[in-house]
Amino acid sequence: MDKNRHLVNRRLVAWRKWRWLALTVLLVGVGLLLRLGTVGQLPIHLDRWLPWVSPPTVTLYFPDSQGRFLIPITRRVGSAEATAQAAVEELLQGPRDHIKLSTPFPLGSRLSLFDFLGGVAQVHITTERPESAGLLDISRTLEMLARTLQEFKDVESVQLLINGSLLGDISVTSPRSHPIYYTYGSYLVPDANGYTSPQEAIAQYLIGPAPGSGLEGLPEDVRLLEYRFDATRGLVYINLTYTESVREVALSDVSRMRRTLIGIVATLTDFDEVKAVMLDFQGHTRLGLGQCADLLRAPQIRTKAINDEAVESRR
């Protein structure tokens, strides 16, 4: 009896060990598959199999408090709400609490009708105070709508009607520009221009934004040492000089440095052929005292949340 009990206990211990080993191998395997999938080595689309891993989002554009830029804000929505009409409705709600952005829409504005036909989105807005429509910045409002609806491929142009009156229209699809994402305070802001290749975009990025614009990139003494593109994997490798200025920024403002690196990745992955970016600063595995190490010398895919509203509201 004791021998049988001892044998059962041994088998139970062995089974538990194999169970934990199998679980460990499974987790490592899933992590490896995800990493390979992100850089184009495997045709993995995890969100198709596990939709709750990546909740639906829409990217809304709001003016900053000074009206200088339109800031993209990624907002999580319900599973059935990631549509062009839902995006307009979310835009009309304005920025959420604690987000230091504004909206040109008059107070009490609501979407009365969203009509989509032949690539034209007609946005019918009703306001509680009709006289407030005369104070609306039409060009800025149309640009907000066009930027917000550009992620919906079927939308070619937008017409804006307020209280039944057509105020203007704007093209959404033309011209297609690849922006450079610079930092602006706590945000990433797209500085739109017609760059034709990722290499041209990174070269222009290093030239830097216009003086006095309020936008920031890498320190001006940073140079591009190497650019490689692996077309089979869609992977861009860039090697940049590690300067004292880079170290100082990483030490004094790690949040800005992180946004800067994420902005470079967003800039390059805006091109369809680029699936991931590997950033290198002359072999350094960290910047400053270890900051941003997770973004260096490993493939980085484009973030789905440019200026995540949930994160920004906690600042």
Would you list the DSSP string of 141-175? HHHHHHHHHTTSTT--EEEEEETTEEEEEEESSSS
Per-residue confidence (pLDDT) for residue 18, from 0 to 100? 67
Give the burial class of 169: count Cβ atoms within 10 A of its Cβ; 0-12 exposed, 13-18 middle, 19 or more buried. middle
> What's the distance, CA 292 to chain centroid?
18
Provide the CB-side half-sphere exposure for 121 (13 A, CA).
27
Mean pLDDT of the chain: 83
Per-residue confidence (pLDDT) for residue 33, from 0 to 100? 52
Residue numbers in the chain where pLDDT is lower than 70: 1-54, 79-80, 97-98, 130-135, 174-176, 313-315
Q: Which of 184, 180, 158 is nearest to 169 (CA)?
A: 158
Residue 105, SS3 per DSSP: coil
Per-residue confidence (pLDDT) for residue 128, from 0 to 100? 78
CB 107 within 8 Å of CB 124: no
Per-residue confidence (pLDDT) for residue 41, from 0 to 100? 43
Per-residue confidence (pLDDT) for residue 135, from 0 to 100? 63
Per-residue confidence (pLDDT) for residue 169, from 0 to 100? 93
Per-residue confidence (pLDDT) for residue 80, from 0 to 100? 66
pTM, to two decimals: 0.79
